[in-house]
Every structure is written in structure tokens, then in C-alpha cells.
């Protein structure tokens, strides 16, 4: 194999296996490792500022991969975040010595975004305390390295809850605000990032700035949904609400199109507090609806339930039995569905999280179920976000790709209510540029069932999903080293170059979260 | 290898153990939590490098209850502690005479702390005897617990001396949470119950109310989580009392009885009590009462005392 020579700054043609989309060469997936120039003098500078840098493998090894289990990178050293002042010193030194700084919260990225390919890894979970809960103003001020779950624990002591957070509770507030954060109440409440009222940010050059829609608005716009490119969020003020248990119902479909159409109808009519679709392949498609209040539930039952084209559990099971009786060669698939139902359903409604028919701490229940039933050594979750009209097409095409690569997989579809006043935030983000009112996202997650797949196979699968986004005009929830090459193709050179220019101004040494987007 | 229990190699870093780890809760340092230790071991970190983490662990067992991979994280931490202590060291036995438990039937094994309060122990035994009479163990195994917690090895001779008569018991009620966990493993065919579960099942405990904080013995609870989760859920639903369970239904411990020097006891109790609108505290482990009373003024009583108090009223 001949490795061609290339100039610094130019990506070479990939000499490895062909890309999923013929004719377009595959971009390098793992970023190359920073070689450590001036690392020693950088560490010396941090030590002089009383900042501990951990370099032993016992520390560095904790962060060697992210939730993907595919992207691997070793930092030269790790710092546990302690304060905005400390982070300011780190970034100033990093600018001087051109040391890449990778910021990590929960580490639940899946494209290597929170993996350090050399340089410094900054673990933000060191700054993870709640600072103030205001039950009158319905706000919370928190350090941004906090896990959503820990935030929920603190809020619950005061009878409060956050508005919208990722399904997975071991993601961090700061990381989520940089990416989006969607859950089954996002169709009504928007993404987590849109719940932020104000932030304290340390810019790549080490300035500590408080920003909001009214103050330092441009920085606020860049940092929210900004993939950590324009600053490190150290504190956030978020909206909160009184905690309510909820009533949840499931409707079952055998057509993705029908389920998506019904989902979008419900979202548009705003008749449910929570909606989403979760599937086992395209064989068991579940539309989930839930309510914070009995009044809303009753209104739904009176006016909307009959209009849904899904089945109740019994009816659907009978349909499926007939389906597999007529297709005995699909017995393995049937047994898989049966096994999943038996193991998953009890975990979705555990007795100790139910009271009077309502679910307590839904997020805990779902998060633990996600890790137990979908977690694994490798996690591959490519996604596409579109406007309302394109969504069903994306889901159907993505489903076909999933079928091609894996026997078992899940689709997770959720709407995201958009804020008209936040359009500037949405530029170069997971929110597709042509979305109005709502955006819709679908995650395509193979259930790997402890089988280990090669990186090439998994990357080819992801490439084929991302290609749909390029083809149809969409965006992605996950931007990262592994799929960086898609960003220009999906969003266009104009917006990428605009943000690259902003990035170069904000981060002259280009050290903050390298290779996530730029 | 087929049939082998999952170990640290199965950790894929979900961080669920961090959410329930009291050490992480206070220090916010992942290197000290089970996830950090497991990931470090995956990268061949030497046990000396993990010494601080191993000794910081308070062995509450909360991590085991949430791990989606079913890794015995508790055993992992204890094993590290053991490696650090060295295999060849044998734990010192208490100097008290060990009188063997040589009868069958129902047995109550009090913790050292409960033994040191004879009046409370008497009340406790009296309550237990109302349903199924149980004698108090003369050999309480406290030296074994202390040795295990230190990471030292218990001599096989001493262990068998302790266990042999217990194998003949029909029911063993255990106060100390660590001993409870160990006995569940060592005597799988004997009926072993935590003292807290027995007492909290008694009818007067239904008099607990929203103004009460009922502090479950965290070590015992986590040792038998799948069974006790439902038990305490019933208690909460019946009485609406508050408990030291978090949103994961994992018991927040005090540091009572734990051999550790890293965590701040005051901070731990403050974390336990923060935001609680209560006027009384009822505990299952008398060491929790001691710990909590150092840092707050709420009236605190052991659950056995509470039961008597309800009956007297």
C-alpha cells in the first residue's frame, strides 16, 4: 500500500476500503493524534498555577473511549475541572502552547467527540454541583458538569424537575446544551439547549463571560448547540417546573409511515405532554404517549385515542402471531421479539416506580432500561434530523439501511419544538436549517447482542445512514471526528466557512475540541 | 469464558455507578468511583495505583444495584483492598473469647454497635421473639467483618468455626450489613434476613408518616436489593414516610461504621437531610443514629425503639 504525500491541511484520499457511497472517498475517521509538542512546558505552566495534571494510565485510561467503544484516543493528561478560574488558566496556556483541549462531561458521545487524541482532557464532572434552586422563578443555577440525573435528585428534594433532558441521564448538562438534548417531551418543550436562560462560559482564549439572549447574545448563540467550539460552559441557569408523575400509554403499529404520521398529528395538536416512537426493527413499532395531568389524559381519551391507527397490546400481539404463523421462516425474529418483550417490559414499568397507575421518575426508569437493553461494549447510534415533511422518508430509508446491516435494531423517533427566537442558535447545529415549528429526529441503533463488529462494518453502516441526510437535506445530532466529513456535505460550505471564520477568531490556536467540527 | 460472572473487563463506562457512589458524590472524582477503577484496571493499572480508591470505598454496595452489566463492583473494590493488604496477612482476631453458636433454630446476630447497647439489644430481641423466638448469637463474627473490611484475609479455621453452627440454623437475622452480604454468599441454603427488614415489617411501623425519615441500613439493603426494594416500596406507599432512598431507589448511607478517612461525615449527613421536610428520624442501624446525631438536632430513634414507642402511645 502506498501512502501518498500530502500537504499539511489537506486531507488525503483514503487508501482503505471504499466508502458506502460509491465514488466519494471515505474521510479519515479517527483524527490523528497530536504529537505532544510543548506538552512538558504546558504542564509545567499548569503546575505553576496549582493545577494538577494526571498523566498515569490509571487516570488517562478512564477516558480512552466514549460510549461508542469504537473511537479510541489517549490524552497526554487529564485535569479534573474545579472552577471557571482554573479552566481560564488552562485555556490561556493551551492557546500559548497550542495544546488541544478536549472537554468531556458524561462521555456519551458516539463519534469520538469527547475522546482526546492526544493533548489535554478536561473532565467537567469535577464541577457538578447545584448552586441555587429558585422555586418561585422556576429556575436552577448549576455547574455544567453535572449529570442530568444528579440535577434531578437535587431538584426533587424541592418538588421540582427539569424541563427536558436526554433520555440517558449520565449525560452532562453542559455537554447536552452544546448538542441539543431530546426526550419524549421535546415535541412540547423543545430540546434541552432551548431551556437555558443564561450561561457562564470560558472562551477558548480564557475569558469568563456570562451570556444570555440579552447579554453577550452572540456568544450565547454560538455556545448553545455549538458543539463546544466557542467556549466551555461552566455554569448554566435553566428553567425548571414542579415535578409530576405521569400516565403513560403505548399504541402498536406495523407501519412506520402510519406511526410517524400519527405522531406528528399529535404533536401538532399538542394533545399530549410526551410523545415518541420506539421500535423493534419495523416489526413492533410503539407510539408512546404520556400525560402530566389527568385532565389532559381524559381529553386525549375522549377526542384523540380513537383517531390513532395503532392497536392496543392484545390486538397487536394477535396480529403478530398471525404474521409469524404465515411466515414460519421468520421464527428467529419472532423469538427475539418475544424475548425482548419479556425482558424489557417489566423494566419499563417496575413496581417501585409506579404508584396509582402513574410512573414515578420516568427518566430513571428509561435511562436504566436503555443501558441494560441497548448498552454494550460498542454503541452505534447514527441519527438524522429533518423538517416535518421529510421525516417519514428518512425513517423509511434509514430502516432499509438498518435491515441491510443488522438482524436486530431499534429506531427512536422524537419531535423537537423549535423556538422562533432561537433561529440564530440553530445555525450549524442538529436543528436542520429548513425546519419550521418542529424538527424531527430519528436515531438508528443496531442491537449488537454482544457480537463484536469491525469498525469498518459499523462505519459503513453509519456512512450509509448519514448519506441519506446528505441526499435529503438534513442535519445530525452527532457531529464528531468519525463523521466530520459529512458536515460540509450536509450543511453546505457557506455556513461551515462562516462558522470556521468565527471559530478562528474565537480560538486562534484552534485548540478547543479539535476535530469535532473543525 | 462461558459461565463466568462478568468482571471489570465488561465495564463500558455508562457511569450509572457514579450516580449512586457516595465517594463520587462527595469528591466528584471519577478515579475514586467503581467506573474509574474498572476502566483503570482495563488499562492494566497496577493495584498500588488504585490503593487510594480502594481504601476510599465505604463498601455500601450501591454500585452493584445499578450496574447494567451485573459486574460485582463491590467485590472488585474489596479485592483491590485485599490485594493492597497482601494475601499472606491474616487478620487479627478480637481478644474476646469466641463462644460457638452450637444450637439450631433462629438466631439473631447483632452488630458490635448493637451489642454495646444491651438495653436496645434486649428490646430488639423481645420484638423478634414475638413472631419467631430467636436467641442472640454468642459468636457474632464481628472480628470477621472487621478483617474483611480491612482487606485482610480471614483464616479458614476461624471462618469455619463461625459458619459451621450457622448452617444448622433455620433462620438467621443479621444486623451488620457487611456480614449480611457475606452470609448470603456463604450460606446460600440458609434463610438469612436483615434485622432492618424484620423490624420494618412489624405492624407498628405502619405508624410512620410523612414527617418521618426512615433510614434504611444501606449495606444490608444493597446486599439483597432485588428482594428488599419491593419490601421498602410497600412501606413507603403504606406510610408515605420519607426514606434515604434516592431516585434510583438506592439507599444513601451515612458513614456510620465505615472504615474510611476520605469522606466528610458532616457533608454526608447534610446530603442525606437536604431538602427533607421532616420532624423525626428512625434508623435501622444504630451506627447511623450516632452519625446523624452528630450533625443535626432531629429526634432520632432506632426502629426497635420506635415500635415500642408506638405501642406505648
Q: Over 60: is that where the pLDDT of B3 sits?
A: no
Closest listed residue to residue B114, CA positions, set B307, B312, B303, B309: B303
Residue A410 φ/ψ region, left for φ over 0, alpha for ψ in the -120 to 50 degree band, beta for the rest: beta
Orientation angle between helical segments A148-156 and A362-374, nearest 10 degrees: 150
Contact between A152 and B229 using a beta-carbon 8 Å cutoff: no
Residue with cell 416506580: A353
Q: What is the helix (H) or strand (E) element at residue A161, kind and residue range?
A: strand A160-162
Residue A419: Cβ-neighbour burial (10 angstroms; 0-12, 13-18, 19+) = middle
Contact B39, B69 (CB under 8 A): no
* Cα B43 to the center of its chain, rounded Å: 31
Question: Cα–Cα distance between A351 and B68 in angstroms, integer?
Answer: 18
Q: Which residues of B touch A65 (CB under 8 A)?
A: 13
For the stretch B245-272, pLDDT in tens is: 999 999 999 998 888 889 999 999 999 9
Kindly report each contact of residues A468-472 with a partner whose C-beta sits within 8 Å and lies 24 or more positions away, as own/partner.
A468/A384, A468/A394, A468/A397, A468/A398, A468/A401, A469/A384, A469/A386, A469/A394, A472/A384, A472/A386, A472/A390, A472/A393, A472/A394, A472/A397
Which candidate from A61, A80, A368 shows the least CB-CB separation from B42? A61
Angle at B148 between CA B142 and CA B151, to 5 degrees: 145
Share of chain B above pLDDT 90, in %: 82
Question: Cα–Cα distance between A99 and A404 in angstroms, integer?
Answer: 42
Which candidate from B40, B68, B229 shows the least CB-CB separation from A375? B68
Question: Cα–Cα distance between B135 and B106 in angstroms, integer?
Answer: 7
Q: Which residues of B touch A127 (CB under 8 A)?
A: 28
B-proximal residues of A, 105-144, CB under 8 Å: 106-107, 123, 125-129
Which candidate from B30, B43, B247 shows the least CB-CB separation from A125? B30
Q: Which residues of B touch A160 (CB under 8 A)?
A: none
As a dihedral over the C-alpha atoms of residue A393, residue A396, residue A400, residue A402, rounded to 10 degrees, the angle is 110
Cβ pairs A/B, distance under 8 A: 103
For the stretch A161-185, pLDDT in tens is: 999 888 888 999 999 999 999 999 9
- Residue in A with minimal Cα distance to B34: A62
Angle at B114 between CA B110 and CA B118, to 5 degrees: 105
Contact between A65 and B13 using a beta-carbon 8 Å cutoff: yes
Distance from CA of A217 to the nearest CA of B (A): 31
pLDDT at A16: 40
Distance from CA of B230 to the nearest CA of A (A): 6
Assigned C-alpha cell, A326: 404465515
pLDDT at B86: 65
Contact between A361 and B275 using a beta-carbon 8 Å cutoff: no
Of A130-144, A443-457, B161-175, B196-210, the one with minimum mean pLDDT is A443-457
Contact A260, A374 (CB under 8 A): no
Beta strands (DSSP E) in A50-152 are 77-80, 101-104, 120-123, 130-134, 139-143
Contact A285, A259 (CB under 8 A): yes
CB atoms within 10 A of CB B146: 18
Q: Over 70: is that where the pLDDT of B1 sits?
A: no
A152 touches chain B (CB under 8 A): yes
Contacts of A349 (CB under 8 A, 6+ apart): A359, A365
Orientation angle between helical segments B156-166 and B142-150, nearest 10 degrees: 140
- Residue in A with minimal Cα distance to B31: A59
Q: Is the ipTM above a cut-off of 0.85?
A: yes
pLDDT at A487: 82
Contact between A123 and B30 using a beta-carbon 8 Å cutoff: yes
For the stretch B63-103, pLDDT in tens is: 999 999 999 999 999 999 888 776 544 544 544 445 566 56
Contacts of A474 (CB under 8 A, 6+ apart): A384, A385, A386, A390, A394, A432, A468, A490
Cα-flanking dihedrals φ and ψ of residue A375, to 5°? Answer: -75, 160
pLDDT at B95: 43
Each residue's pLDDT expressed in tens, for chain A with a length of 518 residues: 455 565 655 554 444 433 334 334 455 556 788 999 999 999 999 999 999 999 998 899 999 999 988 889 999 999 999 999 999 999 999 999 999 999 999 999 988 899 999 999 999 999 999 999 999 999 999 999 999 999 999 999 999 999 988 888 899 999 999 999 999 999 999 999 999 999 999 999 999 999 999 999 999 999 999 999 999 999 999 999 999 999 999 999 999 999 999 999 999 999 999 999 999 999 999 999 999 999 999 999 999 999 999 999 899 989 999 999 999 999 999 999 989 888 888 888 899 999 999 999 988 898 888 888 888 888 899 999 999 999 999 999 999 999 999 999 999 999 999 999 999 999 989 899 999 999 999 999 999 987 888 888 888 898 899 989 988 999 988 776 666 778 888 888 899 899 999 999 999 999 999 988 88
Question: Cα–Cα distance between B29 and B211 in angstroms, integer?
Answer: 34
B237 touches chain A (CB under 8 A): yes
Contact between B247 and A125 using a beta-carbon 8 Å cutoff: no
pLDDT at A493: 86
pLDDT at A7: 60
Residues in chain B: 313
Question: Cα–Cα distance between A398 and A390 in angstroms, integer?
Answer: 12
A62 touches chain B (CB under 8 A): yes
CB atoms within 10 A of CB A101: 26
B14 touches chain A (CB under 8 A): yes
- Residue in B with minimal Cα distance to A54: B31
B49 touches chain A (CB under 8 A): yes
Residue with cell 449525560: A171
Amino acid at each position: 500500500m502506498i501512502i501518498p504525500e500530502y500537504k499539511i491541511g489537506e486531507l488525503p484520499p483514503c487508501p482503505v476500503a471504499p466508502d458506502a457511497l460509491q465514488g466519494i472517498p471515505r474521510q479519515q475517521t479517527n483524527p490523528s493524534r497530536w504529537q505532544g509538542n510543548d506538552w512538558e512546558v504546558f504542564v509545567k505552566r499548569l503546575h505553576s498555577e496549582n493545577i494538577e495534571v494526571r498523566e498515569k494510565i490509571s487516570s488517562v485510561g478512564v477516558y480512552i473511549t466514549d460510549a461508542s467503544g469504537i473511537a479510541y484516543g489517549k490524552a497526554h493528561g487529564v485535569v479534573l475541572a474545579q472552577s471557571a478560574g482554573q479552566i481560564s488558566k488552562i485555556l490561556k496556556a493551551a492557546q500559548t502552547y497550542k495544546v488541544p483541549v478536549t472537554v468531556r462531561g458524561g462521555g456519551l458521545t458516539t463519534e469520538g467527540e469527547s475522546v482526546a487524541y492526544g493533548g489535554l482532557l478536561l473532565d467537567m464532572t469535577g464541577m457538578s454541583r447545584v448552586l441555587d434552586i429558585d422555586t418561585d422563578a422556576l429556575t436552577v443555577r448549576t455547574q455544567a458538569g453535572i449529570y442530568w440525573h444528579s440535577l434531578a435528585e437535587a431538584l426533587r428534594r424541592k418538588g421540582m424537575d427539569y424541563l427536558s433532558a436526554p433520555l440517558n441521564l449520565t449525560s452532562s448538562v453542559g455537554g447536552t446544551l452544546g448538542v441539543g438534548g431530546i426526550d419524549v417531551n421535546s415535541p412540547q418543550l423543545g430540546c434541552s439547549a432551548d431551556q437555558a436562560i443564561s450561561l457562564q462560559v470560558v472562551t477558548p482564549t480564557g475569558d469568563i463571560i456570562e451570556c444570555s439572549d440579552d447579554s453577550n447574545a452572540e456568544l450565547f448563540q454560538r455556545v448553545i448547540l455549538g458543539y463546544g467550539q466557542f467556549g466551555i460552559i461552566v455554569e448554566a441557569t435553566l428553567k425548571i417546573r414542579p415535578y409530576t408523575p405521569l400516565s403513560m400509554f403505548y399504541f402498536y403499529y406495523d407501519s412506520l409511515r402510519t406511526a410517524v404520521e400519527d405522531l406528528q398529528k399529535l404533536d401538532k395538536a399538542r394533545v399530549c405532554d410526551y410523545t415518541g416512537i420506539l421500535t423493534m426493527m419495523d416489526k413492533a413499532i410503539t407510539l408512546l404517549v404520556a400525560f402530566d395531568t389527568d385532565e389532559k389524559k381524559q381529553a386525549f381519551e375522549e377526542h384523540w385515542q380513537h383517531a390513532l391507527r395503532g392497536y392496543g397490546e392484545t390486538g397487536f400481539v394477535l396480529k403478530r402471531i398471525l404474521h409469524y404463523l404465515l411466515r414460519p421462516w421468520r421464527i428467529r425474529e419472532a423469538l427475539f421479539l418475544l424475548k425482548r418483550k419479556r425482558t424489557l417490559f417489566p423494566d419499563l414499568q417496575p413496581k417501585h416506580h409506579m404508584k396509582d397507575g402513574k410512573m414515578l421518575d420516568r427518566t430513571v426508569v428509561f435511562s436504566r432500561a436503555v443501558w441494560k437493553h441497548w448498552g454494550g461494549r460498542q454503541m452505534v447510534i447514527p441519527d438524522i434530523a429533518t423538517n416535518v415533511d421529510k421525516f417519514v422518508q428518512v425513517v423509511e430509508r434509514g430502516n432499509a439501511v438498518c435491515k441491510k446491516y443488522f438482524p436486530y435494531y431499534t429506531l427512536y423517533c422524537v419531535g423537537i419544538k423549535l423556538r422562533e427566537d432561537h433561529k440564530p442558535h440553530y445555525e450549524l447545529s442538529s436543528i436542520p436549517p429548513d425546519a419550521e415549528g418542529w424538527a424531527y429526529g430519528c436515531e438508528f441503533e443496531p442491537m449488537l447482542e454482544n457480537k463484536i463488529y469491525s469498525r469498518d462494518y459499523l462505519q459503513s453502516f453509519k456512512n450509509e445512514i448519514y448519506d441519506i441526510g446528505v441526499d435529503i437535506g438534513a442535519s445530525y445530532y452527532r457531529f464528531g471526528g468519525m463523521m466530520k466529513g459529512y458536515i460540509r456535505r450536509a450543511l453546505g460550505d457557506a455556513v461551515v466557512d462562516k462558522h470556521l471564520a468565527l471559530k478562528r477568531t474565537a480560538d486562534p490556536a484552534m485548540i478547543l475540541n479539535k476535530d469535532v467540527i473543525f | 469464558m462461558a459461565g463466568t460472572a462478568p468482571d471489570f473487563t465488561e465495564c463500558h463506562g455508562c457511569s450509572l455507578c457514579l450516580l449512586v457512589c457516595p465517594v463520587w458524590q462527595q469528591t466528584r472524582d471519577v478515579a475514586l468511583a467503581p467506573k474509574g477503577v474498572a476502566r483503570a484496571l482495563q488499562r492494566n493499572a497496577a493495584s498500588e495505583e488504585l490503593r487510594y480508591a480502594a481504601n476510599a470505598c465505604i463498601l455500601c454496595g450501591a454500585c452493584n444495584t445499578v450496574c447494567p452489566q451485573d459486574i460485582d463492583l463491590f467485590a472488585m473494590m474489596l479485592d483491590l483492598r485485599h490485594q493492597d493488604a497482601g494475601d499472606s496477612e491474616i487478620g487479627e482476631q478480637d481478644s474476646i473469647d469466641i463462644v460457638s453458636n452450637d444450637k439450631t433454630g433462629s438466631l439473631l446476630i447483632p452488630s458490635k454497635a448493637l451489642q454495646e447497647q444491651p438495653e436496645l439489644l434486649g428490646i430488639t430481641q423481645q420484638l423478634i421473639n414475638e413472631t419467631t423466638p430467636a436467641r442472640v448469637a454468642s459468636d457474632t463474627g464481628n472480628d470477621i467483618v472487621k478483617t474483611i473490611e480491612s482487606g485482610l484475609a480471614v483464616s479458614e479455621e476461624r471462618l469455619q468455626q463461625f459458619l459451621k453452627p450457622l448452617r444448622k440454623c433455620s433462620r438467621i437475622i443479621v444486623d451488620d450489613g457487611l456480614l449480611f452480604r457475606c452470609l448470603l454468599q456463604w450460606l446460600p441454603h440458609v434463610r438469612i434476613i436483615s434485622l432492618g427488614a424484620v423490624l420494618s415489617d412489624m405492624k407498628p411501623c405502619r405508624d410512620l408518616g410523612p414527617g418521618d425519615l426512615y433510614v434504611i441500613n444501606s449495606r444490608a439493603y444493597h446486599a439483597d436489593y432485588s428482594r428488599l426494594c419491593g419490601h421498602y416500596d410497600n412501606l413507603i406507599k403504606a406510610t408515605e414516610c420519607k426514606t434515604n432512598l434516592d431516585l434510583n431507589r438506592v439507599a444513601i448511607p451515612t458513614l456510620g461504621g465505615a472504615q474510611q478517612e476520605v469522606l466528610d461525615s458532616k457533608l454526608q449527613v447534610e446530603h442525606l437531610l437536604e431538602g427533607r421536610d421532616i420532624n423525626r428520624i428512625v434508623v435501622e442501624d444504630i451506627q447511623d443514629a450516632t452519625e446523624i446525631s452528630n450533625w443535626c438536632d432531629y429526634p432520632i430513634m432506632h426502629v426497635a425503639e420506635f415500635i415500642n414507642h408506638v405501642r406505648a402511645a
